[in-house]
Amino acid sequence: MKRAIKINGRLIPKGGKEFLRIEVGSHRREGAIRLPVCVWRGEEDGPVLLITAGLHGDELNGVESLRRMITDGSIVPDAGTVIALPIANVWGFLNSSRFLPDGKDLNRGFPGSRTGPLSQKMALAIMQLLLPSADCGLDLHSGGVNENYPHIRCVTGAPGNMELALAFAPPFILDSPLMEGTFRKAAWLSGKNVLVYEGGESRSISEFAVSECINGILRIMDHLGMSASGAPERNETRIVEKSSFVRAECAGDYYPGVPCGAEIRKGDPLARVYDTVSGEQSEITARENATALSVRRAQPVREGDLLIHLGIPL
């Protein structure tokens, strides 16, 4: 329980709200680089939930989810505090880029550094100025070139992770190892449970991914005792502890054979790739029963490109 919340030197009282712009560095063409942070405190004491979006600037579904919740007021807690970073990578968001202006990936720069590149300076600001106040967190993402079916990524063997993941109640919970340089791993090493939500694809807004994200956040707030309005209806959540990747065996024109979220049986056609040089067709079929958690849209691909991410039932 947090009775006093201070962020970047600003004290936020009970029932208060603040909009902060935290300067973390500068770029020779862009000028000052700032983190836009929104803080809402309920009238009653309670947990502190940190929600981040837009670490990759071209991933829009998390940004849009927070925008809608801020607009309709559903993000404002009755008890406890919500700290939101609705667009971490503002430059990337404005320029439809995954990266920062120096070409670095913010979500590979954690836990950060005062003397490193901009990505590490921004990561350090999040770690030092936002995370310490939080009890737990959600990091909102979309797929890149692949469309992701809405799911939560966490370490299913970690009790704190699973409690939050089950409270979010997504269609799927994917057991996902902690990746070096990510906010999720840095938070874990700091003793904080931060889960990753994935839904939709980059550079587009999916109503399904946004609604699943918003509903999951509201369920988390209800679970934490932060909201008196009740939680949306829960999904039937499936836990995926084993997954595999389907990759292109040659360069060429790729066409998916299944939509994102499809239930697949062994032997079902998954994809076709037409070889760039010979024009010959290569058909990929399922080796076992699975669910298509992520599917790339039809486009030219290179040998080794990820086409489909399959969740395998145990």
Residues 262 and 230 in one domain: no
**Continuous segment of H or E residues that includes residue 165:** helix 159-168
Domain's final residue, options 238, 260, 294? 238
The residue segments making up the domain with residue 249 are 242-312
Residues 145 and 52 in one domain: yes
Q: Residue 112 belongs to a domain with what CATH number?
A: 3.40.630.10
Kindly indicate the confidence band of residue 29, based on its pLDDT and cuts at 50, 70 and 90: low
Q: Residue 254 belongs to a domain with what CATH number?
A: 2.40.50.100
104-148 pLDDT tens trace: 999 999 999 999 999 999 999 999 999 999 999 999 999 989 999
pLDDT surpasses 90 at 33: no
216-251 pLDDT tens trace: 999 999 999 999 888 999 999 999 999 999 999 999
| CA separation, residue 142 to residues 2, 77, 245 (Å) | 31, 25, 18
Residues 98 and 231 in one domain: yes
Contacts for 271 with CB less than 8 Å, ≥ 6 apart: 246, 254, 255, 256, 257, 258, 283, 284, 307, 308
- Going 54 to 55 to 59 to 62, the CA torsion angle's sign is negative
Residues 66 and 146 in one domain: yes
User: Domain tally for the chain?
Assistant: 2
* Average pLDDT rounded to a whole number, residues 250-274: 97
Residues 246 and 61: their CA atoms lie apart, in Å, by 25
Does pTM surpass 0.85? yes
pLDDT of residue 149: 98
Residues 118 and 178 in one domain: yes
* Average pLDDT rounded to a whole number, residues 250-254: 95
Residues 200 and 263 in one domain: no
Kindly indicate the confidence band of residue 3, based on its pLDDT and cuts at 50, 70 and 90: low
Residues 190 and 308 in one domain: no
Backbone angles phi, psi at 43, to 5 degrees: -75, -20
| CA separation, residue 138 to residues 32, 105, 117, 131, 282 (Å) | 27, 19, 25, 11, 40
54-93 pLDDT tens trace: 999 999 999 999 999 999 999 999 999 999 999 999 999 9
